[in-house]
Amino acid sequence: MARCDLNDNLRMESPSALTAVLATIPDRDLHGLGLAIDGSLNVVPGLLAWLEAAVDWEVNRRAGMFYPLLGPRAAIDDTETDASLMTLAILAACFRGDGRSESKPVAEFLELTAATLRTEVKRPDMLQ
């Protein structure tokens, strides 16, 4: 599988790039991410709802259920965009900085989520 480059606009415009990164997250970290989302303060509810949906999507995909994953803009409205981007950047930095190699796929997923959200905001025609 090719590595997703966050500077590659063609790949980050599609939720399929997000699904590819989700697939690289180990089961333990995926479930941990889901638990962390469930226990988070509801400061950016659209972002939390989308992250929870994305984690659930990947868990279901691994269990053999297949359905489309919409991009983050489907759950995040204009009033939450800036706070969501800031939250994603902070979370990604935390996962990158913890020193565990298993955390890198989670950081990449969060960074790609932010890049995809920025692309969807700039190009609303990308929404499905």
**pLDDT tens-digit map of 54-95:** 999 999 999 999 999 999 999 999 999 999 999 999 989 988
In a domain, 37, yes or no: yes
Distance CA 119, CA 111 (A): 12
Question: Is residue 1 in some structural domain?
Answer: no
Number of domains within the chain: 1
Euclidean distance between CA atoms 59 and 81, whole angstroms: 26
Q: How far is CA 108 from CA 33, 50, 63, in A?
A: 13, 16, 23
Instruction: Identify whether 16 is part of a domain.
Output: yes
Question: Where is pLDDT greater, at 3 or 56?
Answer: 56
Q: Flag whether 4 is in a domain.
A: no
Percent of the chain past pLDDT 90, that is, above it, reads: 61
- What CA–CA distances, in Å, run from 57 to 8, 15, 18, 88, 108? 24, 12, 11, 19, 17
Q: Is residue 111 part of a domain?
A: yes
Cβ 12 vs Cβ 117: under 8 Å: no
| Full residue range of the structural domain in which residue 79 is found | 10-126
Tokens of residue 28, six digits:
């333990």
Across residues 40-62, what is the average pLDDT?
Answer: 94
61 located within any domain? yes
